[in-house]
Amino acid sequence: MISALRRRLAALFGGLTSLVLAVMLVITCALSCTQYQSSQEVLYQNRFQTLLQQLQRNGEVSDSYLSQVAGEEPLLFYAQVEGVPLHFSALWSDTVGDSGVLSAMQEEAARQGASEKENSLLTFTLAVSGTRYRCTVYTIPDYQVYFAQNLTRQRAHLRGLVGLYLLLGAVGVSAMLLVSWLLSRLATRPTEQAVQEQQSFIAAASHELRSPLAVVRASLYTASQQSDQPAVRSQLALADQEAERMSRLVGDLLTLTGGSVGRLTCKSDPVEMETVCIRLYDLFSVQAEQKQHPFRLDLPDEVLPVISSDEQRLIQLLSALLANALDHTPAGTAVELRARVEGTFVTLAVVDHGPGIPDGEKKAVFRRFYRAEQSRTDKGHFGLGLSIAQELAGQLGGQLTLEDTPGGGATFELALSH
């Protein structure tokens, strides 16, 4: 219970703080990328204007000047008058000119309606041979300037920026989850200590009550045998029934609290599953007949494997499931004890054909002292049988599940590895 509470608190704290952190990182990352792209756009325009002014002043742009303006960015700068290239040969600042890019720019400018006889300034993005370029085509009558910048470096920078924020997010979320887990442990420590003290007290009290109850029952039996008055013997029998009921409650509480405080131990001995099933069938056959339930043992044709478990605890678990099926299903409905081998698991199922359990109550039936509405007045049951079964299943390393029986009813299935 405390572990589940701790997990929920850690998930709540960690989830909320991680969500806030993720939102902040996404916003910061978006702003950083936008700012970087804006600065690169301004730098691109400045480079174009600088080279254009140099061309207008000197009628050419030297390779050295183009390299100086470009820095580490691959740039294309090309100009022609009436279709004739100017006499300088500067193209890419760091490689030989790429005529494919230039041709693509000319085709795109023509597609967008640029004319050699009209003033125009077009800026667009092109993809050539898998590489993207930012392009500008400047045209005045009989004069064209083509300027392009390879965007590979910028795109790599943006990917690196996004990757950095993703890394920061992963580290931040991990740190938040760790801190949340530690805080949840601190927050639940007083509750855990209180629960442990309560469980220890119940376990100690239950253990101490067993001996007095045994003496009381023995005394009641002796008094009943010595009395010859029917009224007295009837009252003594009633008292013995209540004492027996209290003894069962004390035993159930001792089992549950023993599991909660770690005092419930289970052996690990070889257990023959067929023997366990036959023994349970023999134990409950008379009880099933008394309560008018057809009781059937369903074993597979192949021999069930021997598993490593605690035979007494296993019988106690399955007895709780069988008693629950016999007590809470109408007379005349069949109850089955079924065994199967499924892969690396041996599954033992208690199947009844009663009214079944609604989906909304399937988890609740394993809670302590939970009883369905129709059985709350039944003083013979305390709502602990299924809780004990689930506790024992965990101690034995198995998994206890509840499913609907085809045609109506409930099926409790215990899976144990072999």
pLDDT per position as a tens digit, 47-73 = 899 988 888 888 777 777 877 887 777
Residue with tokens 């691109």: 44
Q: Is 293 in contact with 333 (CB distance < 8 Å)?
A: yes
d(CA 248, CA 253): 9
Residue with tokens 């929920």: 8
The alpha carbon of 75 is separated from its chain's Cα centroid by a whole number of angstroms, namely 51
Beta bridge partners of 149: 75, 134
Residues with Cβ < 8 Å from 126, sequence gap 6 or more? 101, 104, 105, 108, 132, 133, 135, 148
Q: What is the pLDDT of residues 241-272, one digit of tens each?
A: 767 766 666 666 666 665 444 455 566 789 89
Query: What SS3 state is found at 296?
Result: strand
d(CA 126, CA 338): 71
DSSP 410: E
Using 70 as the pLDDT threshold, list the residues of the chain that sit under it: 1, 86-99, 116-117, 195, 197-210, 242, 245-267, 368-385
Task: Tell whether pTM > 0.85.
Answer: no
d(CA 41, CA 221): 99
Radius of gyration of the chain (CA): 41
The alpha carbon of 219 is separated from its chain's Cα centroid by a whole number of angstroms, namely 56
Nearest to 221 by CA among 243, 206, 245: 243
Looking at residue 35, what is its pLDDT? 95
Cα angle 92, 98, 104; round to 5: 120
DSSP structure string for 306-363: EEEE-HHHHHHHHHHHHHHHHHSS-TT--EEEEEEEETTEEEEEEEE-SS---GGGTT
